Amino acid sequence: MKGLLFERSLPRFAAARVASTVAPGGGSRVGPLRLAQLEEPPLPGPGWQRVRPRLAGICGSDLATVDGRSSRYFEPIVSFPFVPGHEVVGELDDGSRVVLEPVLACAARGIDPPCASCAASTNGNCERIAFGHLEPGLQTGYCADTGGGWSEALVAHESQLHAVPADMADEDAVMVEPMACAVHAVQSTEVGEGATVVVLGAGTLGLCTIAALRRLALPGVVIAGAKHPDQRRLATDLGADIVVEPDQVHRAVRRHTASLAAGRQLTGGADVVVDCVGNQTSLAEALSIVRPRGTVVLVGMPGPVLVDLAPLWQREVRLAGSYAYRHQTFPTAFEVVHAAALGRLVSALYPLDRYREAIDHAAHAGRRGAVKIAFDLRKGTSAAPWRMG
């Protein structure tokens, strides 16, 4: 089968990192990712099924991996070589369609009794992701044993599969996994009724978060920082009340909350700031616009950052991470995707052969008026490189 393989190669990691400083996505040309003929991964045991991906999205964490910019924190919890791709809608051998819940938790790893987190159904926080009968891997798409979505076949445990309703298009279904991340972020954060919530970033995660906030919580005003015109249009459409460019967020929050400012720091600010960017600038911005005792939620995957935490300390700000989801999150994610018609965020589909173009497109999605770029692995379809957003 055809698939994109990511191998451990330090020189190529380094080359990818250098290339990505010239142009994001540049790691796909010189890095450890290559198109290869692969053996289909064997089923690891009972309860496992073969999944043939139909659409597989390219996520921000995938881009960081391809460009060699991922945190070294992940090294012990991934195994090489692996096939990337964890946003997957695929087909089982019986022809039914499923969405993959990629976390490789205790159930998939054959660990019984499960860890405390899995026992509490918070399988996103599984404490055994480097253990059990599988090679280490926090998710499908980072594990040498399971394959990944950027190929023609992967294997998944039954605990990882969610049936796709017959009337749901593949484009909607491929948005379910990122939406589950947004749903989890909203459900695990205390968003009071009438609260002022700021969403930094309006890529896939930011837009999904806005949609989830509007359907699962009762915020008063949602302020979104979005860099590109199409992102601003979509943010408004999905429920943001005030949508501004990133460098205007600070002023918009100050105005809306009638706050004063002491230097760059607002004296008041938003009740909740959801950081869907995850870099040094966005985290510093979040801390400068959140109110005392407010909450900053990191949804975008961060790496090593240098941020002054004095305001966090002095203002007793809560800084929380939000990773993945619970198993029960997915039904809600299906509902929100359907209600908000999020298949429209899938902007372009590429065949695997054109992976470099796909990754380049994903790395410049906002600037090119796109949101979600995905690989189209459906048989008999010829992937159009561009779709209406």
Partner 1 sequence: MPARSARPGFVLDVDRSTPPTLFWHGEQYHLERLPAGSRVVYPPEALPALEHPDAAIRHALLNPLGDSQPLPSLLRAGMRLTICFDDISLPLPPMRRPDVRQRVIEAVLDMAAEAGVDDVVLIAALALHRRMTEQELRHALGDRVYDAFAPQGLLTQLDAEDPESMLHLGTTDAGEDVEISKRAATSDLIVYVNINLVAMDGGHKSVATGLASYRSLRHHHNVRTMQHSRSFMDQHRSELHSSNWRMGRHIAACGIKIFQIETTLNSNTFPEQFAFLQRREWEWTARDRATFLGVSKSLDRTPARLARSIFQSIRSPHQMQSVQAGEVEAVHEVTTRNVYRQQLVEVQGQSDILTMGLPYICPYNVNSIMNPILVACLGLGYFFNLYRGKPLVREGGVVIMRHPTPWAFHPVHHPSYIDFFEQVLAETTDPLEIESKFEEGFATDPWYVHLYRTSYAYHGVHPFYMWYWCAHALQHLGGVILVGGDPKAVRRMGFKPASTMRDALEMAEDVVGRDPSITHMHTPPLLIADVK
Interface residues toward partner 1, by CB under 8 A: 242, 244-245, 248, 251-252, 254-255, 258-261
State the SS3 of 240-309.
CCEEECHHHHHHHHHHHHCCCEECCEECCCEEEEEECCCCHHHHHHHHHHEEEEEEEEECCCCCCCCCCC
State the SS3 of the chain.
CEEEEECCCHHHHHHHHHHHHHCCCCHHHHCCEEEEECCCCCCCCCCEEEEEEEEEECCHHHHHHHCCCCCHHHHHHCCCCECCCCEEEEECCCCCEEEECCECCCCCCCCCCCCHHHHCCCHHHCCCCCCCCCCCCCECCCCCCCCCCCECCEEEEHHHEEECCCCCCHHHHCCHHHHHHHHHHHHCCCCCCCCEEEEECCCHHHHHHHHHHHHHCCCCEEEEECCCHHHHHHHHHHCCCEEECHHHHHHHHHHHHCCCEECCEECCCEEEEEECCCCHHHHHHHHHHEEEEEEEEECCCCCCCCCCCHHHHHCCCEEEECCCCCCCHHHHHHHHHHHHCHHHHEEEEECHHHHHHHHHHHHCCCCCCCCEEEEECCCCCCCCCCCCC
CB of 238 to partner 1, least distance (A): 18
Pick 159 or 248: Cβ nearer partner 1 = 248
Instruction: Quote the CA–CA distance of 261 and 91 in Å, as a whole number.
Output: 54
Pick 181 or 252: Cβ nearer partner 1 = 252
Pick 226 or 297: Cβ nearer partner 1 = 226
Pick 42 or 194: Cβ nearer partner 1 = 194
CB of 261 to partner 1, least distance (A): 6
CB of 88 to partner 1, least distance (A): 38
CB of 18 to partner 1, least distance (A): 34
Instruction: Quote the CA–CA distance of 154 and 158 in Å, as a whole number.
Output: 13
CB of 251 to partner 1, least distance (A): 5
Pick 130 or 249: Cβ nearer partner 1 = 249
Question: Could you tell me which residues come within 8 angstroms of residue 69 by beta carbon, excluding any fewer than 6 positions away?
Answer: 17, 20, 303
Pick 166 or 258: Cβ nearer partner 1 = 258
CB of 129 to partner 1, least distance (A): 44
Pick 166 or 262: Cβ nearer partner 1 = 262
CB of 230 to partner 1, least distance (A): 16
Pick 121 or 267: Cβ nearer partner 1 = 267
CB of 255 to partner 1, least distance (A): 5
Pick 133 or 251: Cβ nearer partner 1 = 251
CB of 240 to partner 1, least distance (A): 13
**Tokens found for residue 383:** 């992937």
Pick 197 or 345: Cβ nearer partner 1 = 197
Q: Are 69 and 17 in contact (CB under 8 A)?
A: yes
CB of 252 to partner 1, least distance (A): 6
